[in-house]
Amino acid sequence: MKYEIMMSCGHEDTVELFGKEKERDRKIEYFKIHGLCKECYRKKKEEETQKEGLIFNATVLPYINEKDGSILLSVWFSGDTKPHKDEIKSLGNYSWSERESADDWYSFQLPTLCWNKIIKLDSLEEEIIKATSIGAKSMVADSGLFAEVHYRIALERQKEWREKKEKIDLIKKPAVPEVLKGCTWNQKIYGKAGNYSIYPNGDKKLITDEQAEEIKNYLTLKEEYRKKVNEIKNA
């Protein structure tokens, strides 16, 4: 049922109430004493946000950077972000998208949108300095059980990554033939004995039979190397 109630702020507002009559009456009484109309509520929230100032938040993500094993963080702004929108954008790579706090990962509620981005742990300090430079007043680290769990998962993944990296570093990488050093090429040898050629960086180059042999050998070793690395990576 809808009720017109004179709120505590002195403005009338329409409120929809459910439940038993006694329960509804109780709520109406509450609104009269403590309730705010929608406009006053909005203003109050706005004032609170302004008072809060700009807040920089960070949480550890439950995965790592597979290329270099870095622990990753999601960082975002909360609080009084509206007047800082352009400054936030100017910091680089921030996008208006779903917040990724640890609790958000396991929440069934609609996602909360915010200015956020993913960074490596070792650039956190730099990002904090940047955030401070546009007026961030406080830095908040995500806390709670889920945040703790994510951090542990990240550490575990990093440990596995390092162990694999150590094994991969032990495998001998085949030496690149002199003629191909620093070049990109399509990994094809053209022609026949006495008249072999390749296209390093897209330019035709005649090679000797010995060079062709060396390159063929290199390709075989490279394929073996790739297989061994993948075996470790997928273990």
Q: Which residue ranges make up the site for Zn ion (CB under 5 A)?
A: 9, 11, 37, 40
Closer CB to Zn ion, residue 31 or residue 76? 31
Of 9 and 229, which has the nearer Cβ to Zn ion? 9
Choice between 12 and 126, CB closer to Zn ion: 12
Closest Cα partner for 96 from 112, 120, 109, 80?
112
Amino acid 30 reads: Y
Residue type, 155: L
Q: How far is the CB of 134 from Zn ion (least distance, A)?
A: 33
**Beta-bridge mates of residue 97:** 114
Minimum CB separation of residue 43 from Zn ion in Å reads 8
Least distance to Zn ion from the beta carbon of 7, Å?
6
Q: Which is nearer to Zn ion, 40 or 140 (CB)?
A: 40
- Residue 123 Cβ vs Zn ion, minimum distance, rounded to whole Å: 46
Non-local (6+) Cβ contacts of 158 within 8 A are: 64, 69, 70, 71
- The first and second tokens of residue 197, run together, are 């050629």
| Helices 209-234, 145-170: inter-axial angle, 10-degree rounding | 150
